[in-house]
Amino acid sequence: MKSHYRVVVIGGGVVGTSILYHLAKMGWSDVCLIERSLLTAGSSWHAAGGFHALNADPNIAQLQSYTIDLFDDIQEESGQDIGLHRTGGLTMAGTPDRWEWLQSAYRTFQSIGIHDCRLVTVEEAVALNPIMSGDGLLGGMWADREGYIDTTGTVHAYAGAAKKRGATVIEHNRVLELNQTLQGWDVVTEKGTVSCEHVVNAAGLWAKQVGRMAGIELPVSPLNHHYLISDTIPQLEGLDFEVPMTVDLEGFTYLRQDQKGVLLGIYEVNHQHWMMDGAPWEYGFELQQEDPDRIENELIMGFERYPCLQEVGVKTWVNGAFTFSPDGNPLVGPVPGKRGYWSACAVMAGFLQGGGVGKSLAEWMINGTPDADVYGMDVARYGVWAENKQYIKETTGQFYTRRFVMTYPNEQLPAGRPLKTAGAYADMSAAGCQWGQSWDLEVPLYFAEPGFVEAPSLKRSNAHGIVADECQAVRNGVGLLDITGFSRFEVSGPNAEQWLDQIMASKLPKPGRARLAPMLAEDGRLKGDLTVFNWGDGIWWIMGSYYLRRWHMRWFVDHMMEGVTLRDLGDEVSGFSLAGPASLGVIEKLTDGPIADLNFMGCGHFDIGLLRCKVGRLSVAGERGYEIHCRAGDHAVLRRILLEAGADAGIREYGFNALLSLRLEKSFGIWNAEFTQGYTPGMTGMDRWIDWDKEFIGKSAAMAERDGNGPAQTLVTMEIDADGADASGFEPIWVNGAQVGFVTSGGYGHTVGKSLAMALVDPTHSSAGTEVSVHVVGVKRAARIIAASPYDPDGKAMRG
């Protein structure tokens, strides 16, 4: 062991060895992996080893696809047999909604370039897996490249391939301390101290302790997971092929062949946490006692789905722990506030996702950003509120229990809620507000009559009419929206303007003005669709998506300069937005300031009743509007006085469901749909806001796109001949049988009376009037490209 390495990876499981391999493959050979015991000790050795294509997040599905493609390479590079069995795989649906969802997921795969899948009938599925009963099933999806591997062999293959490229693996050497230095980190181990520039926490079941060594509380917890291996099954002995990896979603089970028996895994509803503060250091190759009583219902369903199991015994029980995050996705990336400390934890499907995690983290570390949009597994998607042990327990348990339970797009899950509420929460609840969640905050979705319950649905729900009424109130009168759920960062100091000018790609607003501001990464891709306010007193605001608060703060801090003070106001400031043709009349009643003279995109300080507020004249709804910002403690009072002032105008409270409809009618994109860190300004139309005459982060790459062949895809608006369901995202778009793009987001435009969607398409098919087709909830629908902003295309309502 040397005294210095560029990177030290802590943890010798599949994730740690994959990271080591990818770092070495990309040219950083001065890297070391330290394992307290032997490679695979922890979760890797007892993992089931199955790999499959399906994931609800298309970006993570792409990384899973990369991992599957990688298996042959690491086997060849290392010379280590990984026991690769590409049996193909089936994912089966047993309810009408699940079958619709599976058909929709199949189309999503087509959108992201995974083409080795197909839908199958129950009869076809039973022919592919003859030991499966088709009773109660409606259909399935087949994937060519699914199967299973030998988990121990795969870990050693990653490690062996990394060592051949110059990396170092050290076993039997527990990390005792982590101490941050000016140059990076001192890693204190049983065999001495190693200094490094970067340290990676890939400690699996020990991630909690390794995080605490650096003063970090990671939102992870181990939960126990059961599987059994059967005795020899005579029916399998008679087959000349292996049965495919099979997932029975309604039965909570997955199955693969194991020699001439099968491995049956269970995601039990009655979950069980284990060692929430991390596994004992001496733990490694042990298991928990099996608990068949706890999984009785799932076992019964599994034995009914595979009747042959009723005729043979159980050879082996495995009840071992894996780590989970609150949403089940990994926690990967640079930990905010701990320069040089990287997380690679909670990869509960390590053999399926480990390759993609290793690739992305290595790219991130070496190039400054990963090639793929990995926000879905970014450690910065959680704030300090997620460090709470009860929150972790509720949310990780909820995810585990629902691992194979269908979650609808309009479904609100209860774990860890309510956590943070705005000041008017109780009053809004009494007025019928139905709440959703953004990061830690409860946000309004819509307002309903007492006793209303929204039915979960893949299609338009029974709240459709309520949202329609709210949209009409905004378009025809005035609507009131709680905007606590926007992020607000305060920027001040002698170099505030200089810093903003280099980090934002747009011109900066003059005093008393606001401006839309794209923010780019060094590679020219988007890092934010933000709004910058110049309040005229040396104070600037950056506003954006509330749930990106920690993610954006990490970016700001990493690119900070001297002479700038930056504060996150997310817990200090709340507010409401007035939108609609009657909005000026309402706000004029509450101030004697020159509010009528405030032009579009203007901002200033105004007395609103008894409150001193910051007001900006802008509106995502596409109507004349005012965003009114107040102290968090004034939120309830601000709501009350606005409702009183707007009573004569028929003011109506509305929620974000209506706002999503209103913004689609204006072709306004939003983050995580039209705008992501995987897209460029040229693709998304954000280049219209760029000031090409100044220097800013990402300028060279953005100019290369502008002056080269242009973007590969272009953002457009479509109308769809829908029937009771609207596009939502990642549905493929077709012209004459060829895929030409995909939907970024969609919904119903209640004002224009059309099903609308925004989409990225090939530039050759982006002209208004182009006839296309799109799959909506798995069903092909006629559609066409239309001109942007189908409502008020000239923007007169918003600017008037």
Model confidence pLDDT, tens digit, residues 252-273: 999 999 999 999 999 989 999 9
Burial class (CB in 10 A: 0-12, 13-18, 19+), 752: middle
Positive or negative, the Cα torsion across 645, 646, 647, 652? Answer: negative
Residue pair 497/532 in contact (Cβ under 8 Å)? The answer is no
286 CB-near residues (< 8 Å, 6+ apart): none
Instruction: For strands 89-93 and 245-248, give the pairing.
Output: parallel
The pLDDT score that the predictor gives to residue 63 is 86
The pLDDT score that the predictor gives to residue 55 is 74
User: Mean pLDDT score of the chain, rounded to an integer?
Assistant: 97
pLDDT single digits (tens) 177-213: 999 999 999 999 999 999 999 999 999 999 999 999 9
Structure tokens at 735: 């012209």
How many angstroms separate the CA atoms of 58 and 142, rounded? 17
Residue pair 735/785 in contact (Cβ under 8 Å)? The answer is no
Tell me the average pLDDT across 31-39.
98
DSSP helix/strand/coil, 581? coil
Residue pair 463/470 in contact (Cβ under 8 Å)? The answer is no
pLDDT at 488 over 90: yes
Distances (CA, A) of 232 to 119, 241, 260, 765, 778: 30, 15, 5, 56, 40
Positive or negative, the Cα torsion across 189, 192, 193, 199? Answer: negative
| Matching residue, tokens 């799959």 | 775
* Count of CB atoms situated within 10 Å of the CB of 436: 17
How many angstroms separate the CA atoms of 408 and 386, rounded? 24
Tell me the average pLDDT across 692-710.
96
Tell me the average pLDDT across 3-21.
98
DSSP helix/strand/coil, 378? strand
68 CB-near residues (< 8 Å, 6+ apart): 51, 53, 145, 146, 352, 355
Domains observed in the chain:
4-333+336-367 (3.50.50.60), 484-570 (3.30.70.1400), 677-687+696-799 (2.40.30.110)
pLDDT single digits (tens) 594-607: 999 999 999 999 99
The pLDDT score that the predictor gives to residue 53 is 76
pLDDT single digits (tens) 108-133: 999 988 889 999 999 999 999 999 99
How many angstroms separate the CA atoms of 623 and 795, rounded? 8
Residue pair 386/43 in contact (Cβ under 8 Å)? The answer is no
Q: Let me know how many helices (H) and strands (E) the chain has, helices first.
A: 20, 37
pLDDT at 56 over 80: no
How many angstroms separate the CA atoms of 2 and 15, rounded? 23
Residue pair 132/91 in contact (Cβ under 8 Å)? The answer is no
pLDDT at 625 over 90: yes
The pLDDT score that the predictor gives to residue 1 is 85
Instruction: For strands 314-324 and 147-148, give the pairing.
Output: unpaired
The pLDDT score that the predictor gives to residue 753 is 98
How many angstroms separate the CA atoms of 236 and 259, rounded? 9
Residue pair 45/324 in contact (Cβ under 8 Å)? The answer is no
The closest alpha carbon to 179, from 214, 212, 217, 206, belongs to 214
How many angstroms separate the CA atoms of 584 and 499, rounded? 35
The pLDDT score that the predictor gives to residue 112 is 85
DSSP helix/strand/coil, 480? strand
How many angstroms separate the CA atoms of 790 and 785, rounded? 11
The closest alpha carbon to 750, from 665, 687, 668, belongs to 665
DSSP helix/strand/coil, 48? coil
* Count of CB atoms situated within 10 Å of the CB of 737: 6
How many angstroms separate the CA atoms of 69 and 63, rounded? 10
Alpha helices per DSSP H over 668-766: 681-684, 699-707
Tell me the average pLDDT across 753-780.
97
Instruction: For strands 253-258 and 31-34, give the pairing.
Output: unpaired
Tell me the average pLDDT across 614-639.
98
Distances (CA, A) of 32 to 160, 171, 615, 708: 13, 11, 54, 41
Distances (CA, A) of 768 to 329, 418, 710, 790: 39, 44, 19, 12
Longest dimension (CA), the chain: 88
115 CB-near residues (< 8 Å, 6+ apart): 109
The pTM for the full model equals 0.97
pLDDT at 706 over 80: yes
Residue pair 523/694 in contact (Cβ under 8 Å)? The answer is no
Q: How far apart are the first and last CA of the chain?
A: 70
Tell me the average pLDDT across 523-532.
97
The pLDDT score that the predictor gives to residue 54 is 72
With a pLDDT cut of 70, the percent of the chain lying above it is: 100
Q: Is 406 left (phi over 0), alpha (psi -120 to 50) or beta?
A: beta
How many angstroms separate the CA atoms of 634 and 343, rounded? 39
With a pLDDT cut of 90, the percent of the chain lying above it is: 97
At 103, give phi and psi (nearest 5°). Answer: -65, -40
Instruction: For strands 479-482 and 652-653, give the pairing.
Output: parallel
The pLDDT score that the predictor gives to residue 58 is 81
Residue pair 11/187 in contact (Cβ under 8 Å)? The answer is no
pLDDT at 57 over 90: no
DSSP helix/strand/coil, 19? helix
* Least reliable range by pLDDT among 59-63, 201-205, 423-427: 59-63
Positive or negative, the Cα torsion across 413, 417, 423, 426? Answer: positive
Positive or negative, the Cα torsion across 443, 372, 351, 111? Answer: positive
pLDDT single digits (tens) 304-320: 999 999 999 999 999 99
The pLDDT score that the predictor gives to residue 117 is 94
Q: Which helix (H) or strand (E) holds 235?
A: helix 234-237
Distances (CA, A) of 482 to 27, 447, 626, 651, 656: 50, 12, 12, 14, 9
Structure tokens at 458: 């893949």
How many angstroms separate the CA atoms of 84 and 541, rounded? 54
Structure tokens at 495: 């170099």
At 493, give phi and psi (nearest 5°). Answer: 110, 165
The pLDDT score that the predictor gives to residue 776 is 97
* Least reliable range by pLDDT among 48-62, 559-573, 697-711: 48-62
Residue pair 188/173 in contact (Cβ under 8 Å)? The answer is no
